[in-house]
Structure 1
Amino acid sequence: MEKPMYGKFCSQQLWFVILVSFSLGVVLLCFDYSALFGSDNGDVLVLNNYENGVTTTVDSESNHFSGNYSDDDDDIIAPLPRNPLVVVVNQTDSVALEPTREKKGVVEVKDESDSSCLGRYIYVHDLPSRFNEDLVKNCHLFTRGTEQNMCPYLVNLGLGSRIQNHEMVLLNDSWFSTNQFLLEVIFHNRMKNYKCLTGNSSLASAIYVPFYAGLDISRRLWGVRTSDRDSSAVDLLKWVAGKPEWERMWGRDHFLVAGRISWDFRRQTDNESDWGSKLRFLPESKNMSMLSVESSCWNNDFAIPYPTCFHPSKKDQILQWQDKMRRQKRNYLFSFAGAPRPDLQDSIRGKIIDQCLASGSACRLLDCNYGATNCDNPVNVMKVFRSSVFCLQPPGDSYTRRSIFDAILAGCIPVFFHPGTAYAQYLWHLPKNYTTYSLYMPVREIKDWKVRINETLLGISEDRVIGLREEVIKLIPKIIYADPVSSKSETLEMEDAFDVAVKGILERIEKVRELIREEKDPSIGFSDGDDYKYTFSAYGGELNVTI
């Protein structure tokens, strides 16, 4: 008779239970590990680096880590899962590319049920680094047309180095050596702190494409074949048009920002001698809107202010500066900061310089001729503009110039000579009634010059001067870009140039969306040219000055 098998069966069962328990333990351990580094349930995970004070929030469905971190933050480096959706990071430490930054701001995870963001959500494309980050890293490649060495201007998230020696001209520590061509970098870094970012593109009212078009073309403007100048634009648009977000409105809810004038991206032929790239004439680009420091005659280009050197992080800093400009003593009737343009046939700058010099102590001329360094120093510029009642703003190499916004920042009343310098440009940021904040002396052709600047400005009543100056000073918050890492519209408690631009582009896209809802063709007029946009006809009068 065979022995009962109970003992052998129990022994096998015990080993089986142990084996199963061990396997379950391994499975649970792996599950916990995957929960740490990403899962498919959309949870949000916070990784803390307590030693360095860094808190990094990463959506578990995102494969994009856009946080600011130093080389010492080894404990927050982790593999991230697939399916890019959310790009959110709490930033409190310094970036390797911005070694002079004293502090970082915080980008919070936005609750997408917040009703305050309805209609304001923006989705940011996570572009390959060659279209933005690599351009910053290779800043030494930028040459003529911007600066011989752009790298010093790219510290502090594109603001440049902090100005230490104010010479009692500037106020507080909110002033930086900011380059006028770096709007796209500053805007992108402000967008990272935007209140209503979303990782769910289906919720987004607009899609932002953070391509540094200005930096890219700056490397290729001289001695480069047109095909090479266009290569990045062609590759970018192929990438963007291949994303599912494109099909929703065929790109008409997409926008990009450029730090150069829009004409630099509208080369109309493939002749090697022609200027710029043809980014804005490529088929996909025609469906997108572009914000730049100067717009063109086409309806899908919009102008937003050049960056000045003032980047406040608190409301009090703006209020203090405004109060300082109201109380400022102004010894000069008018001033001009610039250089002549003898190679431009219709340039009026030579006439303006002659009249300034002939006006003696009534006018202050700041020489910005090639090789002069006076205008590179924000202290010098502010010293002149804050001491002037009027600041002359003639066109330069193109219609616009950063000096417009430096003048407004100094509480100096701008005097314009062509509608394309401001009135037809900054429609979101400057009042439609341009007579409330500026003077207009239209000069259609230099041969018809009839303006006696000194006599004209002396004829403006004191009451009108006071009213104009007050309107100019009120404009200051709307034409400056706040510090991208330590301020938001909520803490600043007022809209800056970034906020106004975002509101403008959202309204623009909403109008297109309205056409779609009404079953109308949204392409009609979207990218059409307006040949009369910069003519004098819309602004009437030979001399729009009320005496």
Structure 2
Amino acid sequence: MQQKSSNGRKQFWFAILIILLLSLILLHFNSSALIRRRDIIQSSVSNSLYFVNTRIDIEDGVEPVNRLSVNDTRVEPEILTLGKNTSEPVVPFPSIENGMKHVEENVIEPVSPIPVIKSPVTDNGVEMEHVDDLVVIKGDLKDVKANGVQSVNETSILKNKEEHVDKVVVAEKRRQVVSDPCSGKYVYVHIIPRRFNADIIRECRAINVWTDMCYYLANAGLGPTLENSQGVFHSKGWFATDQFALEVIFNNRMKQYKCLTTNSSMASAIFIPFFAGLDVSRYLWFNTSMKNNGAFALVKWLRSRREWKVMGGRDHFLVAGRIAWDFRRLTTKESDWGNNLLALPETRNMTTLVIESSPWHSNDFAIPYPTYFHPSCDQDVFQWQDRMRRQRKHNLFSFAGAPRPNLKGSIRNQIIEQCIASKSKCRFLACTEKRNKCLDPSNLMKMFQNSVFCLQPPGDSYTRRSAFDSILAGCIPVFFHPGSAYVQYGWHLPQDYKKYSVLIPEDKIRDGTISIETELQKIPREEVRAMRETVISLIPKLIYADPRSKLETLEDAFDIAVKGVIERVDGIRAQMRRGENPEIDVDTQENYWKYSLFGTVGEHEWDHFFFRTWNITSP
């Protein structure tokens, strides 16, 4: 009997052990299946996220090349050869015609790039719905009412089983798909005929009869790398950049823009990569009858595009890397200066970015001249700013320039005379033809770095590239006309000009009633110190980063310009939705500089600076 009882107990515990082993095996397989199920769901959501933005439509029987994906918005460009002096030349956008579906002609509002998930939907048996762009899981999870809005009870989620965690993971993936960081920032780039950009670059030696522009268009438009022979520059990021190379630099920066789209109906703005300044430069002095050919041909091409017809071109913009007066000839004489690009009815609907705008017109906007500094990372900028903060200043003020004897009303002669007379306080760098020391960027930047104030009088026009070079060197600019900066660079410079600059009225210099040295010495040291710090803080906003890389946390002049264009187009689009006319009336146009700065066209203390005979029939 005892032996039978002992055998029975052994069999009982053996059976228990077998049951435990089987339970563990079943638990292992269930957990593996659950993990595999979650991975499949996550993979499915990730794949749907990728293909949402890589969908390509076929137009005219041709399947275009896909340029963009969620994780890669860069464009692999076609390389052009510009000659032996060139390294990494500027390139056009790849030849992709149209891309994705176009918006219908009567549609103004851009379409959301992410499909909206309708309520309710099911995902592998999990019922969901969207509430204020949040995914709410229905079923086992307890729903909570808050002000009439259904939401997820976080406490109940934590208390549920592991399968509910999987559902939350899926919900978070869905939420990320709905959230689009580029919403309201998309830019569509026209693929224009090569004659408007690539061919101009290929024939770069014809751009300027006195300067080899092929040399200056190297390195994506930045020019050759500068040698640091005088120890003036940073270790890297410095180039011999031509002041008229902006449109090439901007075009290459656009290829790095993180919110490009091949679907124009998604775009907040549409970019035209036309090299307007390089085009007209070929004919400003010679073959003047051809100055308008490029502008007229471009406008004709644009009018035929469906993208143009959506808003009549009001969502389009281009960069013309010269002053506005080179594109706004107000006469019919071909021999007169400039072409009619900005005077055409079509281009008056567009936004045009130039290095100097007109105070009396609302369709062109000034953005900074390109300087010599084009950093490739944030740290390059921070190191340069710190260096300028530590820089010792030996001169009270300085001036780099040449007289303008043939320019009526110029104050250049008086400024040079005052500077030479103040030998211990002022440094003068002559930019004359016989001995032009200004051609060496090292000479300019060294003088600016050693000066507290840098004089920036008007030259052939209101503005000077020198103003931006001096700010880059931590030198406070002294202007003599508000048209030299204050009515120009509203997106990039503070409206309160006294925080970063000094204004000495040019008429006071002209009649000899004011001393520049005396006026500058009146400014308290603490105020000068604050102004200098403001100038140094402006540096990131006034430079163009190397197009072959990008800054991470800083916004440069390109970023600010694109943001300004999009905000302007958004305002016009809102006016059109309300049935309002976005055009500026003639009276406001005449005083546009005041309207833009102060929101009024009433009398202002600067009126005498901008007096002119206004022809109401002029564009």
Shorter-chain TM-score tier: 0.7 to 0.9
Residue type at the aligned position of 2:314 = R
1:356/1:365 contact within 8 Å kept? yes
Q: What are the within-5 Å matches in structure 2 for residues 382-401 of structure 1?
A: 382-401=445-464
| Structure (1 or 2) with the larger CA radius of gyration | 2
Q: Are the structure 2 counterparts of residues 211 and 526 from structure 1 closer, same or farther at C-alpha, using a change threshold of 3 Å?
A: farther
- Please, which moves more after superposition, 365-374 or 407-416? 365-374
TM-score normalised by L of structure 1 = 0.79
Q: Which string of whole-angstrom CA distances, capped at 9 and with x for unpartnered residues, describes residues 22-62 of structure 1?
A: xxxxxxxxxxxxxxxxxxxxx999xxxxxxxxxxx998658
Distance 1:541 1:132 in 2: 40
Distance 2:197 2:607 in 1: 45
Structure 1 residue aligned with 2:225: 162
What is the deviation of 1:450? Answer: 1.8
2:429/2:437 contact within 8 Å kept? yes
Structure 2 residue aligned with 1:324: 387
What is the deviation of 1:85? Answer: 7.9
Distance 1:127 1:92 in 2: 15
1:254/1:288 contact within 8 Å kept? yes
Distance 1:234 1:453 in 2: 47
Question: Does structure 1 residue 516 correspond to structure 2 residue 576?
Answer: yes
Q: Which string of whole-angstrom CA distances, capped at 9 and with x for unpartnered residues, describes residues 113-171 of structure 1?
A: 46211111000000101001111111100225xx5211100011100011133421111
Structure 2 residue aligned with 1:116: 181
Structure 2 residue aligned with 1:426: 489
Question: Does structure 1 residue 415 correspond to structure 2 residue 478?
Answer: yes
What is the deviation of 1:529? Answer: 3.1
Residue type at the aligned position of 1:463 = E
Distance 2:325 2:589 in 1: 13
Distance 1:85 1:512 in 2: 31
What is the deviation of 1:95? Answer: 5.7
Q: Are the structure 2 counterparts of residues 275 and 446 from structure 1 closer, same or farther at C-alpha, using a change threshold of 3 Å?
A: farther
What is the deviation of 1:457? Answer: 1.1
Distance 1:223 1:359 in 2: 43
Structure 1 residue aligned with 2:119: none
Structure 2 residue aligned with 1:71: none
1:346/1:445 contact within 8 Å kept? no
Residue type at the aligned position of 1:326 = R
- Please, which moves more after superposition, 368-377 or 247-256? 368-377
Distance 1:280 1:388 in 2: 38
For structure 2, the residue ranges without an aligned partner over 5 or more in a row are: 1-48, 100-111, 115-178, 595-600, 609-619
Match of 2:87 among 100, 103, 107: 100
Residue type at the aligned position of 1:133 = A
Residue type at the aligned position of 1:122 = V
Match of 2:320 among 254, 258, 263: 258
Structure 2 residue aligned with 1:504: 564
1:419/1:536 contact within 8 Å kept? no
1:62/1:84 contact within 8 Å kept? no
Q: What are the within-5 Å matches in structure 2 for residues 30-109 of structure 1?
A: 81-82=62-63, 86=67, 89-91=74-76, 96-97=81-82, 99-101=86-88
Q: Are the structure 2 counterparts of residues 216 and 445 from structure 1 closer, same or farther at C-alpha, using a change threshold of 3 Å?
A: farther
Distance 1:102 1:533 in 2: 38
Sequence identity, in percent?
A: 49
Question: Does structure 1 residue 471 correspond to structure 2 residue 458?
Answer: no
Distance 2:248 2:198 in 1: 10
Question: Does structure 1 residue 279 correspond to structure 2 residue 266?
Answer: no
What is the deviation of 1:532? Answer: 6.3
1:169/1:379 contact within 8 Å kept? yes
Q: Are the structure 2 counterparts of residues 339 and 357 from structure 1 closer, same or farther at C-alpha, using a change threshold of 3 Å?
A: same
Residue type at the aligned position of 1:246 = W
Secondary structure of the structure 2 residue equivalent to 1:369: coil
What is the deviation of 1:522? Answer: 2.1
1:261/1:294 contact within 8 Å kept? yes
1:299/1:527 contact within 8 Å kept? no
Secondary structure of the structure 1 residue equivalent to 2:486: coil
What is the deviation of 1:331? Answer: 0.4
What is the deviation of 1:456? Answer: 1.3
2:90/2:252 contact within 8 Å kept? no
Q: Are the structure 2 counterparts of residues 271 and 102 from structure 1 closer, same or farther at C-alpha, using a change threshold of 3 Å?
A: closer
2:492/2:560 contact within 8 Å kept? yes
Q: Which string of whole-angstrom CA distances, capped at 9 and with x for unpartnered residues, describes residues 70-99 of structure 1?
A: xxxxxxxxxx94568857655499764495
Secondary structure of the structure 2 residue equivalent to 1:533: helix
- CA-based RMSD of the aligned residues comes to 3.2
Residue type at the aligned position of 2:201 = V
Distance 1:218 1:430 in 2: 28
Distance 1:484 1:262 in 2: 25
Q: Which string of whole-angstrom CA distances, capped at 9 and with x for unpartnered residues, describes residues 459-491 of structure 1?
A: 21111110000000000000000001111xxx4
Distance 1:274 1:185 in 2: 26
Distance 1:204 1:322 in 2: 35
Distance 1:95 1:323 in 2: 38
1:419/1:539 contact within 8 Å kept? no
Structure 1 residue aligned with 2:469: 406
Q: Are the structure 2 counterparts of residues 526 and 306 from structure 1 closer, same or farther at C-alpha, using a change threshold of 3 Å?
A: farther
Q: What are the within-5 Å matches in structure 2 for residues 175-324 of structure 1?
A: 175-226=238-289, 228-296=290-358, 297-324=360-387
Residue type at the aligned position of 2:191 = D
Structure 1 residue aligned with 2:216: 153
Secondary structure of the structure 2 residue equivalent to 1:514: helix
Q: Are the structure 2 counterparts of residues 62 and 405 from structure 1 closer, same or farther at C-alpha, using a change threshold of 3 Å?
A: farther
1:131/1:232 contact within 8 Å kept? yes
Structure 2 residue aligned with 1:23: none
Q: Which string of whole-angstrom CA distances, capped at 9 and with x for unpartnered residues, describes residues 506-535 of structure 1?
A: 111111011011111223449973346389
Residue type at the aligned position of 1:399 = Y
What is the deviation of 1:282? Answer: 1.3
Secondary structure of the structure 1 residue equivalent to 2:474: coil
1:287/1:526 contact within 8 Å kept? no
Equivalent pairs, count: 465
Question: Does structure 1 residue 530 correspond to structure 2 residue 593?
Answer: no
